[in-house]
Amino acid sequence: MRNIPPKYIFGATERLRLWRDPDRNAALKRLVIFLLALLAFCVAIFEIWVAMARPSAPRDRVIAPVSLSGSPVRLVAFGSSLTWSNPWPDELAWELSSCLGLPVEVVRVARNGAGSSWGMEAVDQVLAAKPDLVLMEFAINDADVLDGVSLHRSRTQHAALIERLTTTVPSGHVVLMTMNPVGGIHLVLRPFLPRYYALQVGLADSHDTALADLYADWLALPMSQRRFADGLHPAPEDTARVVVPGLVRRIAEAAGRDCPPNPELTGRPRPDTR
């Protein structure tokens, strides 16, 4: 067996003595406590910052008056999988047509996983449809920490979309939408979602657009009615309870009509969807 030089034995002994030193251990404990307290403080500040963006009441900006002289009334639903994979645009057309007494068409320009970056590429499709109203929602995917964009970039891209849309659509007929809350893993992937929804309020104010704050409508429901199977996408019966009547009411008011919610909406056969 090889002899170990005394200096190494002394060095190891000295390090062991220092490790067992009560003053050093006390300092380490104080450091750990400080770091844990700092982490707890940062988490609390984060929670307060996010909670401040959760509305206690709808922050709507009203839709400009809608003329019913043209037929049909054409809307474009411009957004993410919340628009593409759910029947609410078809049910909205059905309900509005019944309320307004004339044909209503809702065209979808949407894609699974779409955010405002994709919207910049697809905006010409919206304009080509010659809509009377544009309903736009991209915040849900802009807020994704893996595939989304920063708040600053989301603001910039939404502003560019609004400017492009308002070349042919009156600003009061561009309707920004906040959508549903999320749960499960999507709550981890979208921790700042309320802030991205609050961004829509600021955009509506600065660009004089309309805003349908459906997020506030969702939060008004009991927690049990805000849980979705995958944590992200509401089922058709959920959107029939919140999204469809919420939009019908807001658009009908702009058209000077009063359309009470249809209590049979969630139970009747649904129109064909994509």
Q: Tell whether 96 and 137 lie within a shared domain.
A: yes
For tokens 């492009």, the residue is 164
pLDDT above 80: residue 30? no
Specify the higher pLDDT residue, 117 or 16.
117
Q: Tell whether 111 and 170 lie within a shared domain.
A: yes
According to the model, what pLDDT value does residue 258 have? 86
Question: Which tokens hold the place of 188?
Answer: 């981890």
Identify the bridge partners of residue 222 per DSSP, sorted by sequence position: none
Q: Global pTM?
A: 0.79
According to the model, what pLDDT value does residue 268 have? 47
Supply the range of the domain harboring residue 137.
73-254
Q: Tell whether 45 and 135 lie within a shared domain.
A: no
Please state, in angstroms and rounded to a whole number, the distance separating the CA atoms of residues 246 and 253: 11
Three-state SS at 240: helix
pLDDT above 60: residue 271? no
Side chain identity at 149, as an amino acid letter?
Answer: V
Q: Which of 172, 260, 164, 250 is nearest to 213 (CA)?
A: 250
Q: Is residue 62 in a domain?
A: no
For tokens 């058709």, the residue is 236
Q: Is residue 103 in a domain?
A: yes
The model's confidence at residue 274, banded by pLDDT at 50, 70 and 90, is: very low
pLDDT above 90: residue 71? no
Average pLDDT over the chain, rounded to whole?
85
Q: Tell whether 146 and 27 lie within a shared domain.
A: no
Q: Tell whether 160 and 120 lie within a shared domain.
A: yes
Those residues whose C-beta lies under 8 Å from the C-beta of residue 174, and which sit 6 or more positions away, are 133, 134, 136, 162, 165, 166, 207, 209, 210
Q: Is residue 264 in a domain?
A: no
According to the model, what pLDDT value does residue 55 have? 72
Q: Is residue 35 in a domain?
A: yes
Once rounded to an integer, what is the mean pLDDT over residues 105-114? 97
Three-state SS at 104: strand
Which CATH number characterizes residue 85's domain?
3.40.50.1110
Q: Tell whether 137 and 35 lie within a shared domain.
A: no
pLDDT above 50: residue 32? yes
pLDDT digits (tens, 9 = 90+) for 134-187: 999 999 999 999 999 999 999 999 999 999 999 999 999 999 999 999 999 999
Those residues whose C-beta lies under 8 Å from the C-beta of residue 79, and which sit 6 or more positions away, are 110, 114, 119, 135, 136, 137, 138, 177
Q: Tell whether 88 and 168 lie within a shared domain.
A: yes
Q: Tell whether 47 and 83 lie within a shared domain.
A: no
Q: Which of 128, 125, 131 is nearest to 74 (CA)?
A: 131
Identify the bridge partners of residue 107 per DSSP, sorted by sequence position: 76
Q: Is residue 42 in a domain?
A: yes
Q: Is residue 41 in a domain?
A: yes
The percent of residues above 90 in pLDDT, for the chain, comes to 68
Specify the higher pLDDT residue, 90 or 23.
90
Q: Is residue 115 in a domain?
A: yes
CB 213 within 8 A of CB 176: no
- Which helix (H) or strand (E) covers residue 77, if one does? strand 73-79
Q: Is residue 265 in a domain?
A: no
Three-state SS at 264: coil
Cα angle 201-205-210, degrees, rounded to a multiple of 5: 75
For tokens 């509005």, the residue is 96
CB 247 within 8 A of CB 99: no
pLDDT digits (tens, 9 = 90+) for 201-251: 999 999 999 999 999 999 999 988 888 889 999 999 999 999 999 999 999
Domain count, the chain: 2
Cα angle 145-221-53, degrees, rounded to a multiple of 5: 40
According to the model, what pLDDT value does residue 270 have? 46
